[in-house]
Amino acid sequence: MSTRGYQVRVAEDPADLEACFAVRKQVFVVEQGVPQDLEYDAHDATALHVLAVDADGVPLGTGRLLYGETAAEKTGGDPSLGSLGRLAVHARARGLGVGVALVRAIEEAARARGLTAVDLHAQTHALGFYERLGYLPYGPEYEEAGIPHQGMRRAL
């Protein structure tokens, strides 16, 4: 998917994955102070990762989709649900629609895998962003990595 001077694609090779992890490190570890050992987990090896890059190939943002058994712990065990997570947009690319394009690419990948809905754990400051994309909050607010979060879901 190409839009507004950047492209969003599924990360398929080691260089793409390295770019995804670099964006996550900048946003979550450096900017938000999430401990690095919490940011990366065993799910990274089996997740579908998406990557946004500018016209020069510079990474702008990333996100991942967990599905099947790897999503079970985040979705209550329902195999028809995917779990969107680790959505991160580099500061220089915020406001360009990169986050929206990443979410839509993850939803497209979820549909292609036969999933009926996507769950996510939103940082509470981002609730409005996800609500504008059709996600509805559920359950109580909770803390994850020292940051307030809210469960949200969107039917596909």
pLDDT tens across 95-108, in order?
999 999 999 999 99
Q: Which two tokens stand for residue 65?
A: 């989709």
Whether the per-residue pLDDT at 76 is higher than 60: the answer is yes
pLDDT of res. 60: 97
The DSSP output letter for 90 is: -
d(CA 31, CA 146): 14
Q: Is residue 4 pLDDT above 80, yes or no?
A: no
Question: Is 120 a residue whose pLDDT tops 60?
Answer: yes
pLDDT for res 46: 92
Backbone angles phi, psi at 141, to 5 degrees: -70, 150
Neighbours of 73 (CB within 10 A): 11
Instruction: For the chain, give the percent of residues with pLDDT over 90.
Output: 80
Task: Evaluate if residue 83 carries a pLDDT over 80.
Answer: yes
Q: Which pTM value belongs to this model?
A: 0.92
Specify the range with the lowest mean pLDDT, choosing from 51-55, 74-78, 100-104, 143-147. Answer: 74-78
User: Do the Cβ atoms of 62 and 88 come closer than 8 Å?
Assistant: yes
